[in-house]
Amino acid sequence: MLCTMLLPTLLLAALPSTVLAHPRYHNSEYYTLGCPPTTKPFASQHEQLTVLTNFATEVFVQHNLDQGYNTYAAKNFINHAPEISGNGTAIAIATQGPMLKGGTTEIQRIFAGRDANGTSYGTIHFKGISLKLGVGDIAGIWRFAGTCLVEYWDVATGVYNSTNPIAYF
C-alpha cells in the first residue's frame, strides 16, 4: 500500500518544473474565470478547433450570441477588444448583438494550435458585413483553457479599394 502511494509522489517530484507548468498539468483559469459545464479543462487541438468552429457559427453566422458565449466562453473571460468596454460574456453579448444585427458574416478561416510556450490559441478570420459599420476584415484571437474560451483580442479594419486584387480575403 505504501509503495502504491509513494511511487506516484516520487515520480511527480522527479519531473522538471517546466513540465508541471505546462497547461496540461495546471489550468486554474478554467475554474477561476467560470468556464461553463459544457466545456472541459483539458483538450486536444482537434477538440479546440471544433469548439472554435461551433462558436464562430453560433455567434458570427447565426447571431445566436447567448448560445455561443454561454456554451463555449468563460463567464468572466478577459477581453482586449477595443470596441467592448469590459470583461465577460454579458458585456460581449450586449455590445456585439447590435453590431451584428441585420448583417452577415463570411468565415474565411479558423485555426487552433499552440504557441512556443504550449499555450493554446485559436483564430477566426472573417468578413463582416454590418448595416451599421459597413464591410470589415476581422481577425479574432482566442486563448483556450481546455475547450473553454478564456481570453480574446481582435484586429479589424474597414475594407477599402486596394491595388492588391487579393487584399483582405
pTM of the predicted protein model: 0.81
If one looks up domain 2-158 in CATH, what number appears? 3.10.450.50
The tens-digit pLDDT sequence of the chain (169 residues) is 545 445 444 444 554 434 434 444 457 899 999 999 999 999 999 999 999 999 999 999 999 999 999 999 999 999 999 888 889 999 999 999 988 888 999 999 999 999 999 999 999 999 999 887 889 999 999 999 999 999 999 999 999 888 998 898 8
In contact, 80 and 153? CB cutoff 8 Å: yes
Distance (Å, whole) CA 26 – CA 49: 21
Domain ranges of the chain: 2-158
Interhelix angle 65-72/45-56, rounded to 10 degrees, is 160
**Nine cell digits for residue 134:** 459597413
